[in-house]
Amino acid sequence: MKAKKILSSLCLLLVVVTAFAQQASENHTERHAIPQQNGQKTTIADLGESDYDIKHLKFDLKMSDTSVFVRGNVTTNAIVTAASMGTYVFELDSLITVDSAKVNGQLLPVTTAASVRKMTLPTALPVNTAFTAQVFYHGTPPGGSGFFNGITLATSTGGTKMVYTVSDPYVAKNWWPCKQEIDDKIDSVDMWVTVPSGVRVGSNGLLKHIDSTSTPGYWQHQWKTKYPIDYYLISVAIARYVVDSSHMHFTGSTDSMLIQNFFFDTATFYPANKSNFDTISQIVDYWSQLFGRYPFWQEKYGISYTNLPGGMEHQTMTTIGVPNTYIIAHELCHQWFGDNVTYKYWGHVWLSEGFATYAEQLYYTHFWSPAMGKSHRQAAYSNAMSQLGGSVYVTDTSSATTLFDQRLVYNKASAVVHMLRFLAPQDSLFFNVLKTYQQQYTGGLATTEDLKAIAQNIYGMNLDTFFNQWIYGQGYPRFSIAWNQIGASVYVKLSQITTVPTSVPLFYTPLELQLHANAGDTIVRVYSNAPSQIYSFTWADTMTNVLLEPNLWILCKINGAVVHDATLGVATTDATDNIKVYPNPTNNVWLVEHLVSGSQLKLMDMNGRTVWKGTSDKDSTTIPAQKLPTGNYQLQISTDNKTKQTIRLVRW
């Protein structure tokens, strides 16, 4: 086995970079406008739904495990947000019959136009007026099953009948009278569902009571959640379940939390899947260490098992149909990213799915092995680069197909999260960003720009370029690689093209290179900010090859084969060839000699952030280092506004 090591910064005394096209600044921070959402869906079907803010919902439904037929009523307590509201507007599928409806206790007629229902009020309600609307209804919702359907009737392979809801993204209207506006979180919900005796109901929050006596032959399950919740995260799952309850404790605390799962009542299901579901408490605790305390810990976390081909992160009670532990980890992560902090607009859905997908590799790395985590990341990267274009930010939110693009919103977005981690000056700062994001927007809504602002503040660097490239822009970089070694000097040439140059003509990004020799490998970090660059390293081992991104930090591909080019590093007559910098390393100052008068100097950290710059008016100058953090820096030397040389400097 060949040894692998990280080359000591003290050995990397010199890096020379030649730009064959004029470079843009490393602080490439022009602000791009967020792309227009040409297929934008506002989620609401009628603007009148924005006239009020929902505070509380009370469901009182009668359902069963053998039919999607639903009967009951939903009471909405809300406050008027418009200057004046003369019509109460809600959504309910046209196949469902409204029996009657009231506003503030007064019966009012309901008009129907497709799924939009309207009630004209006797007197318009002024802004900030609290009101109550109650809708009584019954019917059989549209047919279908699984995701993007609303409500599903199914039978397990063991013969268990079940009915479950999945309202994401725009189908809550298929089973209850709702307002489908993502930026109106509901403060609290009571979910009362009456089902045949012996049938169980899983839902959000805590099961406060089961009334098994008021109606002979029926049980009424009374659930309540007091945490803010979005409309599409409200759910029920109905079957002859066995309820499995336990408590977990958070590391470093005596606080406990309820874990409550609803499993099929069969002799084989629970023994076959117990070990996977027993990992829930461990993952809750681990995510709590990384992201902050589980946000709904005073209620519960649980799973309602169904035949759903995957999982849906209903708040405090995931609906799941695949017992794989990485899916359990994915849906559990959503309780932070998506449920506690919900994206403010559907175009930012990556803030939910990208982080949950990234959590899968965190899960594999921690609970299995780093190799498993890397393998999972490789699969995600390969899928993300299986096509050339498309942005992580969703510009067409008109359908579930474009919203939940597996390649972009899940896999490429998870790569973006990993790359954001790579940019962190320290790894702990990345997780500090995640915790701060959760704390600052807990129970609320956020956008990509909100996350960026937090990361910029904690990292201490401008991240406009990163987010413009990877979230709003399209494509990824591809590199041609050539190398040579002359004595103890190694030269590596990278030439970059992008897959969608009209969107991102050049990716400004740090990269890792693995220099390979029979005696062992070493990894060095460089910064790519020009179409073509030559990097030079001092390395005594006899080199045989170079690898790009061995640890899979940056999303990129190699064009063709890596080439050994014997012409790299051949001496030139450029006036900058004689520039010297010493002492290097230093803890005080660097002295730069043999400069051309008028040379522009720029000192950058390894993320491309400028930490010092100046212009020489003579053949030498000094660069202060006392206040800089220890680590590696790049000194870029330009004449006539063209970069001539970049030298690796070390502060110890």
* Segment 427-459, tens digit of pLDDT: 999 999 999 999 999 999 999 999 999 999 999
The reported pLDDT for the residue numbered 609 is 83
Residue 491 pLDDT grade (very low, low, confident, very high; cuts 50, 70, 90): very high
Q: What pLDDT, on a 0 to 100 scale, did the predictor assign at position 206?
A: 98
- pLDDT at position 27 over 60: no
In the prediction, which pLDDT does 538 show? 87
Judged by average pLDDT, the poorest of 13-17, 500-504, 628-632 is 13-17
Which parts of 240-320 are beta strand (E)? 241-249, 256-264, 300-305, 311-312, 317-320
> In this predicted structure, what is the pLDDT of residue 7?
32
| Model pLDDT, residue 34 | 46
Return the pLDDT at 22: 33
pLDDT score of 4: 30
Dmax of the chain from CA atoms? 97
How large is the average pLDDT for residues 278-297?
97
Quick: pLDDT tens for 211-241. Answer: 999 999 999 999 999 999 999 999 999 999 9
* Mean per-residue pLDDT, 127-139: 98
CATH architecture of structural domain 47-270+299-333:
Sandwich (2.60)
pLDDT tens string 40-89: 445 688 999 999 999 999 999 999 999 999 999 999 999 999 999 999 99
Q: Using alpha carbons only, give the angle 364, 420, 521 rounded to the nearest 5 degrees.
A: 70
Among residues 297, 160, 164, 298, the alpha carbon closest in space to that of 242 is found at 160
Between CA 293 and CA 301 the distance in angstroms is: 13
Under the banding of pLDDT at 50, 70 and 90, the label for residue 644 is low
Helix (H) or strand (E) holding 353: helix 350-363
Strand order in the sheet with 161-166: 150-155, 161-166, 236-239, 200-203
Mean pLDDT of 116-126: 98
Common-topology check for domains 47-270+299-333 and 575-651: yes
Name the phi and psi angles at 500, rounded to 5.
Answer: -135, 75
Q: How confident is the model at residue 259 (pLDDT cuts 50, 70, 90)?
A: very high
User: Is residue 28 scored above 70 in pLDDT?
Assistant: no
510 touches 634 (CB < 8 A): no
Helix intervals (H) in 441-509: 448-459, 464-467
**What letter represents residue 307's amino acid?**
N
For residues 490 and 552, is the Cβ–Cβ distance under 8 A? no
Q: What does the alpha-carbon distance between residue 57 and residue 72 come to, in Å, rounded to a whole number?
A: 13
* Average pLDDT of span 158-165: 95
Distance of alpha carbon 81 from alpha carbon 127, whole angstroms: 5
For the cut 70, the answer to whether the pLDDT of residue 525 exceeds it is: yes
Q: How far apart are CA 439 and CA 464, in angstroms?
A: 23
- Asked which of 7-11, 202-206, 320-324, 638-642 is least confident by mean pLDDT, the reply is 7-11
Span 345-472: which CATH code? 1.10.390.10
What average pLDDT score do residues 647-651 get? 81
Quickly list H helices, 405-494.
413-423, 427-440, 448-459, 464-467
The domain limits of the chain are: 4-32+475-564, 47-270+299-333, 345-472, 575-651
For 575-651, the fitting CATH number among 3.50.50.60, 1.20.1050.40, 3.30.450.40, 2.60.40.3080 is 2.60.40.3080
Amino acid code (one letter) for 339: D
Length of the chain: 652
Helix (H) and strand (E) counts in the chain = 10, 38
Question: What tens digit of pLDDT does each residue of 579-604 get?
Answer: 778 778 787 888 888 888 888 889 88
Q: What is the mean pLDDT of residues 308-335?
A: 96
SS3 state of residue 636: strand
Residues 6+ apart with CB under 8 A from 645: 16, 17, 18, 576, 579, 636, 637
pLDDT at residue number 309: 94
What pLDDT was estimated at residue 237?
98
CATH superfamily of 4-32+475-564: Aminopeptidase N, middle-beta domain (2.60.40.1840)
User: Given this model, what pLDDT does residue 10 score?
Assistant: 29
Q: Respond yes or no on whether the N-terminal peptide bond of residue 169 is cis (omega within 30° of 0).
A: yes
Surface-to-core class of residue 47, CB atoms within 10 Å of its CB (0-12 exposed, 13-18 middle, 19+ buried): exposed
